[in-house]
Structure 1
Amino acid sequence: MYFLLLLLGLTGAAIAHHSVNERAASTYWYQSIKHDGLGSSKTYVVYRNVKDYGAKGDAITDDSAAIQKAINTVDGSSTAIRSGAGLTGQPAVVYFPPGTYLLNSGLKNIMGTVMMGDPTSRPILKAGAGFKDNILLIGQQGAGGLDTFFHEIKNLVLDSTAVPPAKSILLLQFSVSQACQLSNVMFNMPIGATGHIGVQTAGQVMPLLMNDLQFFGGAVGYSAVALQLQLKNWYFKNVDTAIKVGDTLTQVTGQGLRFEGCRIGLDATSGGSGHFSLIDSTATNTSTVVSAAASTSMQGSMVLENVIVDSSTVKIAETTVLTGSVQPGSTWIRGNIYSGDSSTATPNYSNGTKITTSRPMALVNGTGHYYTVAPPTYEEYDISNVINVKDVASYKVAGDGQIDDTESLQAIINAAAGKQVLFFPHGTYILTDTLFIPPGSRLIGEAWSTFSAYGSKFKDPKNLRAMIKIGNPGDVGVAQMTDFLFTTSDFLPGAVLVEINMAGDKPGNVSGFNCHFLITGASTASCKTPAACTTARLCAHFTASSSAYWENSWATGQSGGSATPGAAGGFLIEAVNGTWILGLGTEHHDLYQLNINNAKNVFLGLEQGESPYWQGSGNTVVNPAPWTNALLPSDPDFDWCAASDVQCRMALYQKISGSSNINLYGGAFWNFRSGPMQTICSSDCQTNAVLYENNTQMYSYGISTINDKNLVMESGVRGNSHAITVTQAANSGDPLAGFPQDKPAICAGYFRQS
Structure 2
Amino acid sequence: MSVQPGQNETVGGLTILDSHFYNTRIGIITSANAQSMPPSAGQILLDNVHFDKTPVAVQSPAGEIILQGNQRINSWGQGHVYTPSSRNYTFIRGLLPPPNKSALLMEGSKFLEYSRPEYLEYSVNQFVTVKSLGAKGDGMTDDTATIQRIIDTYAANKIIFFDAGAYIHTNTVYIPLNAIIVGEVESIIMARGSSFGDALNPKPVWKVAQQGESGNVQIVDMLFSHQGPVPGAIMMEWNLKSACPGKSGLWSTHFRTGGAKGTNQTPSNCLKLTGASQRTECQGAFLQLHVTSSASLYMENTWLWVADHNLDYPDHSQIDIFNARTILVESQGPLWMYGTAAEHSVLYQYHFVNAKNILLGQAQTETGYFQSNPPAPEPFTSLTNWFDPVFDMCSKDKFSCTKGWSLDINNTTNMYIYNAGLYSFFQNWNTSCIGTSANSYCQDTLFRIRGNSQNLYLWNLETVGIENMVEVDGIVKVKSRDNLGVFPDGILGYFIDGLDFKQ
* TM-score (normalised: structure 2): 0.88
- Deviation of the 1:368 alpha carbon: 1.8
Residue 188 (structure 2) aligned to one of 432, 450, 454: 450
CA separation in 1, counterparts of 2:338 and 2:293?
Answer: 19
- 1:388: Cα distance to partner? 0.9
Is the contact between residue 308 and residue 321 of structure 2 (CA under 8 Å) also seen in structure 1? no
Deviation track 1:85-105 (CA, whole Å, cap 9, x = no partner) reads xxxxxxxxxxxxxxxxxxxxx
**Cross-structure match for 1:600:** 356
Check if 1:708 corresponds to 2:495.
no
1:303 to 45, 51, 69: 45
- CA 1:323/1:548 → structure 2, altered by over 3 Å: closer, same or farther? same
Match for 1:747: what amino acid?
I
Q: Does 1:546 align with 2:295?
A: yes
Question: Are 2:140 and 1:382 aligned?
Answer: no
Tell whether the 8 Å contact from 1:421 to 1:443 is kept in structure 2 after alignment.
yes
Which amino acid letter does the alignment assign opposite residue 497 of structure 2? Q
Shift of 1:545: 0.4
**Structure 2 residue 358 is the aligned partner of structure 1 residue 358:** no
State how far apart, in whole Å, the 2-side matches of 1:680 and 1:488 are. Answer: 33
Q: Which amino acid aligns with 2:496?
A: R
CA distance in 2, matches of 1:577, 1:528: 36
Distance 1:493 1:270, change over 3 A: same
Matches within 5 A, 1:152-163: none
Distance 1:412 1:745 in 2: 50
Tell me the CA shift for residue 632 of structure 1. 4.2
1:682 maps to which residue? 434
User: Which SS does the other structure have where 1:726 is aligned?
Assistant: strand
Deviation at 1:569, TM superposition (A): 1.4
1:693 is the counterpart of 2:445: no
User: In the alignment, what sits opposite 2:273?
Assistant: none
CA distance in 1, matches of 2:405, 2:420: 12
- Check conservation: 2:17, 2:46, Cα contact below 8 A: yes
CA contact (8 A) 1:530 1:565 kept: no
Separation in structure 2 between the aligned mates of residue 612 and residue 497 of structure 1, nearest angstrom: 19
Query: Is 1:591 the counterpart of 2:339 in the alignment?
Result: no
Partner AA of 1:656 in structure 2: I
Say which is worse superposed, 683-692 or 397-406, in terms of deviation. Answer: 683-692
1:724 corresponds to 2:476: yes
Q: For 1:579 and 1:326, how far apart are their aligned partners in 2? A: 30
- Tell me the distance in 2 between the aligned counterparts of 1:294 and 1:523: 47
Q: Is the contact made by 1:512 and 1:550 (CA closer than 8 Å) also made in structure 2?
A: yes
Q: Hey, what does 1:348 align to over in structure 2?
A: 90
- Look up the equivalent residue of 1:408 and give its one-letter code: T
CA distance in structure 1 between the aligned counterparts of 2:94 and 2:85, rounded to whole angstroms: 20
Query: Which region of structure 1 is more displaced relative to structure 2, 600-609 or 531-540?
Result: 531-540
- TM-aligned CA deviation for residue 501 of structure 1: 0.1
Pairwise CA distance, 1:350: 1.7
Report the counterpart of residue 163 of structure 1 in structure 2. Answer: none
Corresponding position of 2:325: 569
**Residues 472 and 327 (structure 1), Cα distance of their counterparts in 2 relative to 1, 3 Å cut:** farther
Q: Whose relative contact order is higher, 1 or 2, with alpha carbons under 8 Å and at least 6 apart?
A: 2
Whole-angstrom CA distance in 2 between matches of 1:666 and 1:530: 37
Cα distance in structure 2, aligned partners of 1:461 and 1:542: 18
1:421 & 1:633 partners in 2: Cα distance?
35
Once residues 476 and 327 of structure 1 are traced to their aligned partners in structure 2, the CA distance between those partners, rounded to angstroms, is 37
Q: 1:467 to 1:246 in 2, by over 3 A?
A: farther
Q: In structure 1, what is the equivalent of residue 313 of structure 2?
A: none
Cα distance in 2 for partners of 1:402, 1:563 equals 24
2-structure distance, mates of 1:401, 1:607: 32
The answer to whether the 8 Å contact 1:653/1:690 transfers is yes
> How far is the alpha carbon of 1:355 from its aligned partner?
2.3
Structure 2 gap segments, 5+ residues each: 271-275, 310-316, 436-440, 499-503
Q: 1:325 to 1:540 in 2, by over 3 A?
A: farther
Distance 1:380 1:450 in 2: 26
Structure 1 counterpart SS, 2:9:
coil
Cα distance between partner residues in 2 of 1:528 and 1:540: 22
Change in Cα spacing, 1:246 to 1:474, as seen in structure 2 (3 Å) is: farther
Structure 2: which amino acid aligns with 1:623?
A
| Shift of residue 324, structure 1, vs aligned partner | 4.1
Query: What secondary structure, in the 3-state scheme, does the structure 1 residue paired with 2:96 have?
Result: strand
User: 2: CA distance between counterparts of 1:530 and 1:635?
Assistant: 23
Counterpart amino acid of 2:450? E
Cα contact 1:516–1:554 (8 A) shared by 2: yes
What amino acid sits opposite 1:391 in the alignment?
S
The whole-number CA distance in structure 1 between the counterparts of 2:496 and 2:305 is 30
Q: 1:294: Cα distance to partner?
A: 2.6
What is the deviation of 1:306? 0.7
Residues 1:462 and 2:216 aligned together:
no
Counterpart-to-counterpart distance in 1, 2:396 and 2:77: 39
Letter in 1 for 2:350: L
Q: CA deviation at 1:361?
A: 0.6
- Distance in 2 between the 1:285 and 1:523 partners? 54
Amino acid aligned to 1:469: K
CA separation in 2, counterparts of 1:632 and 1:293?
51
Contact 1:595 1:656 in 2 (8 A): yes
Structure 1 residue 326, shift from structure 2 partner: 7.4
Q: Distance in 2 between matches of 1:325 and 1:570?
A: 44
Q: Is the contact between residue 686 and residue 707 of structure 1 (CA under 8 Å) also seen in structure 2?
A: yes
Match of 2:76 among 332, 356, 370: 332
Choose from 469, 473, 478 the match for 2:211: 473
| Matched letter for residue 319 of structure 1 | E
Q: Give yes or no for contact 1:485–1:517 (8 Å, CA) kept in 2.
A: yes
In the TM superposition, residue 631 of structure 1 has moved relative to its aligned partner by 5.0
Q: Which residue of structure 2 lines up, in the alignment, with residue 254 of structure 1?
A: none
Give the drift of 1:564. 3.9
Amino acid at match of 1:541: H
Are the aligned partners of 2:265 and 2:282 in contact in 1 as well (CA < 8 Å)? no
**Aligned Cα RMSD in Å?**
2.1
What is residue 138 of structure 1 aligned with on the other side? none
**2:312 alignment partner in structure 1:** none
* Residue matched to 2:68: 323
Q: Give the letter aligned to residue 455 of structure 1.
A: G
Native 8 Å contact 1:599 1:659 kept in 2 = yes
Helix, strand or coil at the partner of 1:729: helix
1:673 aligns with 2:418: no
Q: Give the partner amino acid of 2:81.
A: I
Match of 1:612 in 2: 368
Compute the displacement of 1:532 (Å): 5.7
Q: Secondary structure at the match of 1:337?
A: strand
Q: Distance in 2 between matches of 1:599 and 1:727?
A: 26
Q: Which residue number corresponds to residue 175 of structure 2?
A: 437
User: Matches of 2:131 and 2:237 in 1, distance apart?
Assistant: 25
Question: 1:464/1:311 Cα in 2 relative to 1: closer, same or farther (>3 Å)?
Answer: same
Deviation (angstroms), 1:489: 0.3
Q: Distance in 1 between matches of 2:392 and 2:95?
A: 38
CA distance in 2, matches of 1:299, 1:347: 14
Counterpart-to-counterpart distance in 2, 1:289 and 1:667? 24
Q: Which residue of the other structure, out of 422, 430, 438, is the alignment partner of 2:160? A: 422
- Looking at structure 2, the residues matched to 594 and 712 of structure 1 have their Cα atoms a distance apart, in angstroms, of 15
Decide whether the 8 Å contact of 1:577 with 1:601 is kept in 2. Answer: yes
Alignment check: 8 A CA contact 2:155 2:180 kept: yes
**Which letter maps to 2:59?**
K
Q: How many Å apart are 1:686 and its aligned residue?
A: 0.9
Q: Partners in 2 of 1:379 and 1:508 — Cα distance?
A: 19
Q: TM-score, normalized by length of structure 1?
A: 0.59
CA distance in 2, matches of 1:309, 1:270: 28
With over 3 angstroms needed to count, the CA separation of the structure-2 counterparts of 1:466 and 1:246, relative to structure 1, is farther
Separation of aligned partners in 1, 2:478 and 2:180 = 43
Question: Partners in 2 of 1:532 and 1:326 — Cα distance?
Answer: 59
The 10-residue stretch of structure 1 (291-300 or 542-551) with the greater mean CA deviation from structure 2: 291-300
Trace 1:255-294 onto structure 2 (pairs within 5 A). 271-294=9-32
The structure whose Rg is larger is 1
Give the share of equivalent positions with the same residue, in percent.
Answer: 28
Partner residue, 1:493:
231
The change in CA–CA distance for 1:528 and 1:284 in structure 2 (over 3 A counts) is: closer
Change (3 A) 1:665 1:629: closer
